[in-house]
Amino acid sequence: MNEDDLVESFKLPVSFTPDGRLLEIGPMSPNSSNHREKSYWIREKILAHPPADNVFLYRSSHGELRVVKQIRRQDEIQNYQRELQMMKRVLTEVEPNEKQLFVDLIGWFSSDDYIHFVLEYCPYGDISQHPTPMLEMDAWWICKQLIEGLSVLHRMGIIHRDIKPQNVLVDDINPTRVKIADFGISKLAHKDDERIATHPTTRIGTPGYMAPERLNLIQRAGSSHTSAIDIWSLGCLMYYILTDSIPFTQQGSITYDSYKALEDYCNGGRPFPEVPLARNGVSLSAQRFIQRLLAPLPHERPQASEQLMMDWEFPLSKDHESSITAEQPDMSQEHTTISTNTVESRERFNYSDIFANEDDIDTPSSDLWYLMKSEARGQLDRDRLRFLLSCDASPEIYIQGYTALHIAAEQGTAESVRELLRYCTNPNARTRPNQEAAIHLATVQADFTLFKEKALGFRV
């Protein structure tokens, strides 16, 4: 099925009635050749952020809720055909367990002047409608899901190009579940090199979240845009969530009138703005993580992958409770935004349950785990490795689903693998939850000679 046929297959039998309701004609009844069930949908309120007024919430006569986004047919910036093709490609080609990372497109219909997208309704609004700064554990959990979503998109050759608070919808708060929305300016790119690359066209995007290469602010940048622009936007989003401010803006102004601060940072004239992060109690691990996402040069930013979150040590607050709480919107009120009042009656999610199967961690074993992480960045201290092992540090303790041996096998040297294996009782232990053994992880670097050297250690 080509892309045009795919789009056409999701067209809905929906039209407007004279009184402004939506009329949906159902399939033919199996008991009658002439009867089709009819459903009426009534507009409840506007969901779009001012000054936009093109996203609405509709309720059916059966109580179902849907979001309808309308786009002018003549709108050349918002290419509705491209957005439809992109959304349906994502939702039809991804694995079943990955669909939850994206807002679902139910279908579309047309009227005289507009194309209308019918979308899944996320009852807790978007990230911008929740109080910031958030607890670090909430930011960590949101970031993990967004990285999973971006990893899927980039694997498919899709660059989102507009990651921002308004395009991250909150589907649940117990625990926090978020979904990536709005593929209106996404780009389908070819694969020239290790990264997805697309030639620059316009500066479409959101001020404050656009990567410097999209603004032509980097003196050493190439002429192509890659998936690294999404990583930059993610870094800006995490910075905002943790500080209630956007980096590189004039006094935190969201209008982002001047790009001078960003240009200075990208060309070495200004340091990374860590003060707001530190002032809000953000851990050093999170600060370093965000700084990596906001590396000035695109090729220096990490790629979206499951392993990336291992660089941000999972934080726990004193009571381990989420700071994201929100009442579902009151449907009796017109044109209201989602309330952010605390829900006292609802049981709150305990984030410590995420890693409930983690081992009790002693200091030497924790230090050993992070030492292996530093080796992945070419900074292994061999004397410290031997010292920690002599202090009974265990290479088999799990942190974030991996042991030190797993990390060394996946990203380290053959020397460190052999050293750790001397202290392992179960070299075949598997990662959690992906069930990968260290010998399998040793193939990740795609270096056969290095793999053979590591594999020799497992035969000892």
Nearest by Cα to 176 from 124, 239, 99: 124
**Sequence-separated (6 or more) residues with CB below 8 Å from residue 364:** 388, 391, 392, 393
- Alpha helices in 332-425, H assignment, sequence order: 363-375, 382-390, 404-411, 414-421
Distance CA 460, CA 451 (A): 15
The secondary element (H helix, E strand) that includes residue 81 is helix 80-93
**Sequence-separated (6 or more) residues with CB below 8 Å from residue 151:** 303, 304, 305, 306
Angle at 243 between CA 239 and CA 245, to 5 degrees: 75
Please give the sequence-ordered ranges of beta strands (E in DSSP) within 154-238, or none if there are none: 158-159, 168-173, 176-180, 187-188, 197-198, 225-226
Report residue 287 as tokens: 């600060």
The residues annotated with a catalytic role in the active site are: 162
Angle at 200 between CA 196 and CA 201, to 5 degrees: 130
What is the secondary structure of 6-30 as a DSSP string?
A: HHHHTB--EEE-TTS-EEEEEEEPT
The secondary element (H helix, E strand) that includes residue 285 is helix 284-293
Angle at 343 between CA 337 and CA 348, to 5 degrees: 125
**Residues paired with residue 397 on neighbouring β-strands, in sequence order:** none
- Angle between helix axes 382-390 and 414-421 (nearest 10 degrees) is 10
Angle at 290 between CA 284 and CA 291, to 5 degrees: 85
Residues in the chain: 460
Report residue 393 as tokens: 């540090």
Distance CA 273, CA 2 (A): 47
- The pair phi, psi for residue 309, each rounded to 5°, is -65, -15
SS3 53: coil
**Sequence-separated (6 or more) residues with CB below 8 Å from residue 272:** 265, 291, 294
**Sequence-separated (6 or more) residues with CB below 8 Å from residue 95:** none
